[in-house]
Amino acid sequence: MPMTSFSRLCGALLVVSSLAALPCAAQTGASANNASHVRVASVDAKRILEESAPAKAAYEKIAAEFRPRQQALESQGQKLKAASDAFERDAPTLSESDRVARQKALSDLDRGFQRDQRAFSEDLNARKSQELSGLLDQTNRAIRKIAEAGGYDIVVQDAYYASPRVDITDQVLKELANPSAPAASGK
């Protein structure tokens, strides 16, 4: 599943939601001394998308939902290939009118197959976006809950480098694994 656009969306939303968690002291012009005590945490979005219980459940749900259509497309592709092979094998012995008719039928089958593939891909991508949007909401709530409980001033996603000391990804994964956590901690 391509995650590049989703990862960018996660990053933007995590940064925005993290900035909202900055303490009021920063808004009132805190001194440089107070700024040196800013608590920062880091989250690895890729790990959350790969390892979290809600992400795994979403991927399985989508796979199960689209498996019949995928199998039908594979079957349709095999039939198209068989028809194409049969046409190439029989073409030298066919009359001009039969060859043109079979070529047109084969072309129609191919267009239909390509149309069905595009529709499948569009539906699959829309469904992935829908499921991942829910995962993003759950993840944001979990991060906010951990940040508030841990006294973090800012949480960044996918930092170029983050010490394991500030990485809260394991805590987020644990929070997401707890089924009551996202529902209990509303925004």
Query: CA angle, corner 98, sides to 95 and 104, nearest 5?
Result: 140
CATH code of 74's domain: 3.30.910.20
Q: Does the model's pTM come out above 0.85? A: no
Lowest mean pLDDT across 6-10, 88-92, 116-120: 6-10
If pLDDT is split at 50, 70 and 90, which confidence band does 37 have? Answer: confident
Torsion angle in degrees (nearest 10) through CA of 67, 68, 69, 72? 120
Higher pLDDT, 2 or 187: 2
| Environment class of 141 (CB within 10 Å of its CB; exposed 0-12, middle 13-18, buried 19+) | buried
Instruction: List the domain range (segments joined by +) for residue 142.
Output: 4-184
Q: How many domains does the chain have?
A: 1
Tell me what the mean pLDDT of segment 55-81 comes to.
95
Report the mean per-residue pLDDT for the chain.
82
